[in-house]
Amino acid sequence: MLAFAEIGHLALFIALICSICQTGLPVFGLAGRYSHSQFLAISRLLQLLATLLVIFSFSALIYSFIVSDFSMALVASHSHSAKPLIYKISGSWGNHEGSLLLWIVILVLFGGLFAATSKHLPDRFSLLTLSVQASVTASFLAFSLFTSSPFERLDIAPLDGRGLNPVLQDIGLALHPPMLYLGYVGLSLAFSMAVAGLIEGNISRQWGQWVRPWALSAWCALTLGIALGSWWAYYELGWGGWWFWDPVENASLMPWLAATALIHSALVVEKRGQLKSWTILLAILAFSLSLVGTFIVRSGLLTSVHSFASDPSRGVFILCILLVATGLPLLLFAWRGPTLSTRSDAGFISRDTALIINNIILVMATAIVLIGTFYPLGLELAVGQRITVGPPYFDATFNPVMAVALIGMAIAPVTMWKSGMLAHARVALIVAAIGAVVAVAIGGGAGVADNAAAMAGLALLGWLGFGVLADMQKRLKFHQPASILARIGKLDGAIWGVWLGHLGMAVFMLGALGDGLGRQEQTIRASAGDVIMLSDRQYRFIEMQQNQGPNYTTRTALLALEELDGTLLGYMRPETRFYPAERQTTTEAAIRPRISGDDYAVLADGDDEIGYSLRLYHKPFVSWIWGGAVIMAIGGLIALSARTTARRTSTNIKQTS
């Protein structure tokens, strides 16, 4: 069974050969001697083969982790026989080499899925798309095999592994990378289709229809992946924050912003035949930004909590991939793009205009994050000075730009294509304005009237939430529940995607504003018996406890959370864990999550003489942040399924007629 890994290694080489052949196929296929369909059949076969081989290879790696084969260098340094099974498995992608292989797995999965579902697309276009996708796959396979092979053996196998890092044994962290990669890499297919379209020099309206499901599914995964990462940081790091504008967080936000623009502009291509060149550019940029993210995490260029593989020679390789995979398509775009331009025939008040504004704003936001992330790097190179760009910059630049987007998110759904607004638009917008006024009034009553940014945020929240709800009410007529199902049946399913996507944003904002404005926090040194007040509740410090875990010792502060009149709400047990074998201390925050807000307690250092340092927070509505992201992703999935159903129906009609 030891040879399992060697077969997996070999499978990767064969997959590389398949991908290289597949990349070259159109060169012969387009020369014209044979029909495209024959070459396409070969290309599909090669794609299928590569997909199976890479999946086999990844299974072999996971198997080596499950059986703790410490003769493999990767297993020896990142696993341990005492780890729970789930973390042995997740350990296989919790490192540079393994996560790179996971990245390739997703790349070939998307390629294989496209090969299997693209029967209704033109042969030439499918052939080109598969070829571009295969070229990306081949680059990453080469990257993996020649600079960071996961299948290296050790001459002498150690008795046990070294990978028992307690911080990394966490379910949020086990799921965050696969989800994020699904998003990053999913964008590769939109990219391949864009490049294929550019090579053909002809983008049809259907192109928008073809590319949107891929972009949508990648966008959903990216949304969830980012939310998972943020949630992990919130409950595990014990800093009480959920977004830090860390370079790597920014690296995942940039493709998300570009992909959000893409799923909107592809709609314009599909419905109106406009914005073609712009949409192509977005498809290229969204994936390029994913590559930039991969590059900065793996080259160690920007220091961050995520930099787990700072090996410069790997950096060079991935920089080459980035330069070729972005540079060539952009040159192609500069050459072919101008011929794709169309003159708009839409009126100013129209969904076309709304979506163009949406795109401009999202691209500006992407640029703002890009500059904020790389300006320090440029400055360091130019004058050798190290600075950090943090929340003040993003508050001043990113937030105002996104505010405009939020205004538009309530307006766009009630506009019509080409020109005009829906009949109920006026009512919906008046309700939205009332919502804004109500939110401002609530904010004023809660005592944030002197904070202009906060008031603007609240106004936007009310505007967006009420605007979307009013649109739903107008179309669904909740006050006539008897016939509501019939109305739902008649609606275009995609509208639910719009509603949930935009409502999810409002829910997210409620969480972000609730935490940002209403957060109460206190850092205090306390001893057993003390009572600490925090907003409308109090913590009674009962005692310190010492406990023995499976491979760690804990110090736990037992706190009773009470209302001010002494009614017990629950016990909070923040603890610090000491892992003697790893000489590592971790902080486990105690969190009491409720819909109305979280209570959050952290125990820091201290002893019985000087007291213990406690950090206590009350964070109103904070869970809504991730709830909003989940709602957005659900909206994306509904839009996706509504599209596939619609396509199937239209194909059926075509076949019967």
Partner 1 sequence: MARISARTLFLLPVAGFVVLGIIFTIALMTNLSGTAKIDPLPSILAGKPAPELPSQRLEGTGADMSDPLSAYAGRPVLINFMASWCAPCRAEIPALETLSDELVIIAIAYKDKEADLRQFLDEYGNPYASVWMDTDGAIGRRWGIYGVPESFLIDGDGIVRLRHAGPVFSDVINDILIPALEQM
Tokens 């659900």 belong to which residue?
634
Nearer to partner 1 among residue 331 and residue 441 (C-beta): 331
CB of 331 to partner 1, least distance (A): 6
- The SS3 of residue 222 is helix
Query: Can you tell me which of 333, 463, 508, 624 binds partner 1, judged by CB under 8 A?
Result: 333
Kind of pairing between the strands at 597-607 and 590-592: antiparallel
Q: Count of CB atoms within 10 A of residue 341's CB?
A: 12
- The SS3 of residue 141 is helix
Nearer to partner 1 among residue 323 and residue 423 (C-beta): 323
Region 590-629 residues binding partner 1, contact defined as CB under 8 A: 605
The answer to whether 404 and 359 have CB atoms below 8 angstroms apart is no
Stretch of 164-172, 282-290, 565-573, 644-652 contacting partner 1, by CB under 8 A: 282-290
Q: Site mask, partner 1, residues 557-596, x = CB under 8 A?
A: ----------------------------------------
Distance, CA of 177 to CA of 313 (rounded, Å): 23
Of 359, 619, 617, the residue nearest 510 (C-alpha): 619
Query: Can you tell me which of 266, 292, 506, 590 binds partner 1, judged by CB under 8 A?
Result: 292
Whole-angstrom CA distances from 81 to 67, 68, 91, 460, 537 are 8, 6, 12, 53, 45
295 binds partner 1 (CB under 8 A): yes
| CA geometry: angle 260, 398, 304, nearest 5 deg | 85
CB of 264 to partner 1, least distance (A): 19
DSSP state of 554: E
CB of 549 to partner 1, least distance (A): 21
288 binds partner 1 (CB under 8 A): yes
Task: For residue 548, list its beta bridge partners.
Answer: 553
- Residue count, binding to partner 1 (CB under 8 A): 35
Query: Can you tell me which of 31, 33, 85, 385 binds partner 1, judged by CB under 8 A?
Result: 385
Distance, CA of 334 to CA of 132 (rounded, Å): 18
Query: Can you tell me which of 377, 532, 558, 560 binds partner 1, judged by CB under 8 A?
Result: 377
The answer to whether 218 and 182 have CB atoms below 8 angstroms apart is yes
Query: Can you tell me which of 384, 392, 447, 481 binds partner 1, judged by CB under 8 A?
Result: 384
Stretch of 89-97, 171-179, 337-345, 629-637 contacting partner 1, by CB under 8 A: 337-345
CB of 583 to partner 1, least distance (A): 9
Kind of pairing between the strands at 520-526 and 597-607: unpaired
Question: Which amino acid is residue 3, in one-letter code?
Answer: A
Q: Site mask, partner 1, residues 234-273, x = CB under 8 A?
A: ----------------------------------------
Nearer to partner 1 among residue 273 and residue 300 (C-beta): 300
Backbone torsion region of residue 153, taken as left when φ is above 0, otherwise alpha when ψ lies between -120 and 50, otherwise beta? beta
Of 521, 492, 472, the residue nearest 622 (C-alpha): 521
What is the SS3 assignment for 83-118?
A: CCHHHHHHHCCCCHHHHHHHHHHHHHHHHHHHHHHC
Nearer to partner 1 among residue 334 and residue 564 (C-beta): 334
Nearer to partner 1 among residue 9 and residue 615 (C-beta): 615
Q: Site mask, partner 1, residues 344-373, x = CB under 8 A?
A: --------------------------x---
326 binds partner 1 (CB under 8 A): yes
The answer to whether 69 and 75 have CB atoms below 8 angstroms apart is yes
CB of 110 to partner 1, least distance (A): 24
Distance, CA of 106 to CA of 140 (rounded, Å): 12
316 binds partner 1 (CB under 8 A): yes
The answer to whether 504 and 497 have CB atoms below 8 angstroms apart is no
CB of 634 to partner 1, least distance (A): 33
Query: Can you tell me which of 84, 327, 390, 549 binds partner 1, judged by CB under 8 A?
Result: 327
- The SS3 of residue 523 is strand
Region 520-539 residues binding partner 1, contact defined as CB under 8 A: none
330 binds partner 1 (CB under 8 A): yes
Interaction site with partner 1 (CB under 8 A): 277, 281, 284-285, 288, 292, 295, 299-301, 312, 315-316, 319, 322-323, 326-327, 330-331, 333-334, 337-338, 341, 370, 374, 377-378, 380-381, 384-386, 605
